[in-house]
Amino acid sequence: MRSNLNISIFGLGYVGLPLAVKLSNYFNVLGFDKNKHRIKELKKFLDINNEINSKELKKAKLNYSTNIQDLKNSNIFIVTVPTPVTKTNQPDLKPLLQACKDIGKIISKGSIVVFESTVYPGVTEEVCGPQIKKYSNLVPGKDFYLGYSPERMNPGDKAHSVDKITKVVSGDCNKTKLILKKIYGKVNSGKIFVAKNIKTAEAAKVIENTQRDINVAFINEITKLFKKIDISIFDVLNTAATKWNFLNFKPGFVGGHCIGVDPYYLSYLARQKKIGSNLILSGRKINNNFPIFLAQYINGLISKRNKILVLGLTFKENVNDLRNTKVLDLIKALKKKDHKVYVNDLYANESEVKMMNLSLTSLSKKDKYDIIILAVAHDNYKKLNYSFFKKKLKQNGKIFDLKAIWKRKKFPKDVEYIIL
């Protein structure tokens, strides 16, 4: 028997769609997105983000709409819109405020509005609640209720999908908490942690990604140091990892929609409260500059204008997500050094790549390169072998394996293999 709860998912991207599909097995769910093209594709059972396959979409008891008026009968609103930063790295709450405005125009008494978008602590109750009140003339905590359940989406990670992870929930009162525990508990077999209050849940989310950003920044910084004394960070990490409590983070690019963005929300709050955030911002600075360091390091080992093939463009392995990819910064820095740079990525969407003023190169082409740079460790690159490198590299060519995925491979005798 299906519940009498009518749930609307506001935003059907990487976070909203998987949640909507899972919830539709137990509740009446309406998926809302203003992007008409997105809805058109979903109605044809196509998810261009590759998070949900066609079989799952066909099976889902899910309705779609681009018309806000269709949400009038909803009594649970789950908001999963993006929370980016501005060009000056300030929190950009415009998508969130617009969602609150839209909901405010159609919300009815007794409804619950749940936010999954990453924010700094206080936004749900101090920004979103008043915005809904402004357009509904309803009072939060009396006429409608607020909840927060931070998304923990990891694009491309099927082992940690929304139905397999512990979900954090909180609300403005015990009743709200219990309802959210019931809703989300249906999806993940009851693996629910009820946070003490909404601010605590908001804070937990924003520090999860900030902590990772800082840890990667430390590794990126010592990578630079160890290159100066001619030792490999990967050899150091493999050695250090023999200690039981060592945290084995790897060097690399920090991009995407979360880790490279969320620390700015925390540092913004720190400024508002007149608290220093030096560690947070230094981590961001180190990670943002890492592609420039890599370009300088690579350029320092070559003596002329080179023809370079970069393998991988997306912000992480085995996904098509190009948001805030730091590989682009590496490519731009190499081009500034007058190198001819070509890019291959089977996962990347060609039309999105063109918007970056780049074009994708096929590996089936007979072109030869002076340099091959492994930037993103897609699974298909792990399978490349001796014959590929023999075919693709010019005499005395170089391989820069930024992820150390080919350490055990054999290469042609005249090829130099370099890792960080």
* 341 phi and psi angles, rounded to 5 deg: -115, 130
Residue 216 belongs to a domain: no
Residue 77 sits in which domain range? Answer: 6-195
Same domain (yes/no): 385, 238: yes
pLDDT number for residue 365: 86
Are 61 and 29 within 8 A, CB to CB? yes
Check whether residue 231 and residue 115 sit in a common domain: no
Q: Indicate whether 234 and 118 sit together in one domain.
A: no
- Ordered alpha helix ranges (H), 229-339: 233-240, 262-272, 278-300, 327-336
**Within a domain: residue 204?**
no
Burial class (CB in 10 A: 0-12, 13-18, 19+), 350: exposed
The number of residues making up the chain comes to 420
User: Are 160 and 232 contained in the same domain?
Assistant: no
Burial tier of 109 (Cβ tally within 10 Å: 0-12, 13-18, 19+): exposed
Domain check: are 327 and 374 in the same one? Answer: yes
The answer to whether residue 154 sits within a structural domain is yes
pLDDT one-digit tens code per residue, 364-381: 888 899 999 999 999 999
Residue with tokens 């925390």: 266
Query: Domain for residue 205, yes or no?
Result: no
Whether 387 and 294 map to the same domain: the answer is: yes
**Domain ends where: 195, 213, 237?**
195
Q: Which domain-ending residue is among 195, 212, 236?
A: 195
In a domain, 206, yes or no: no
Query: From the candidates 100, 128, 173, 258, which is the catalytic residue?
Result: 258
191 and 250 part of one domain: no
> Residue holding tokens 């006429």?
143
Same domain, 49 and 151: yes
How much is the pLDDT for 202? 97
Provide the 8-state DSSP code for 152: -
Residues 189 and 319 reside in one and the same domain = no
In angstroms, the CA 9 to CA 77 distance is 6
Residue 1 domain-assigned (yes or no): no
* Domain termination site, one of 177, 195, 213: 195
Q: What is the pLDDT of residues 221-272, one digit of tens each?
A: 999 999 999 999 999 999 999 999 999 999 999 988 888 889 999 999 999 9
Q: pLDDT under 70 in the chain at which residues?
A: 1-3
* Sign of CA pseudo-dihedral 192, 193, 197, 198: negative
User: φ and ψ at 187, to 5 degrees?
Assistant: -75, -40
Same-domain status, 172 and 262: no
pTM over 0.75: yes
Catalytic annotation present for 258: yes
Indicate whether 25 belongs to any domain. Answer: yes
Task: Determine the 3-state secondary structure of 62 from DSSP.
Answer: strand
Can you give the pLDDT at residue 126?
97
Number of domains in the chain: 2
Q: State how far the Cα of 262 lies from the Cα of 141, in Å rounded to an integer.
A: 28
Looking at the structure, tell me whether residues 141 and 265 fall in a common domain: no
CATH number where 225 lies: 3.40.50.720
Alpha carbons 309 and 343: distance in angstroms, whole number: 6
| Antiparallel, parallel or unpaired: β 145-148 and 167-171 | antiparallel
Q: Please indicate, yes or no, if residue 213 is contained in any of the structural domains.
A: no
Residue 41, both tokens: 């594709």
Residues 233, 171 share a domain: no
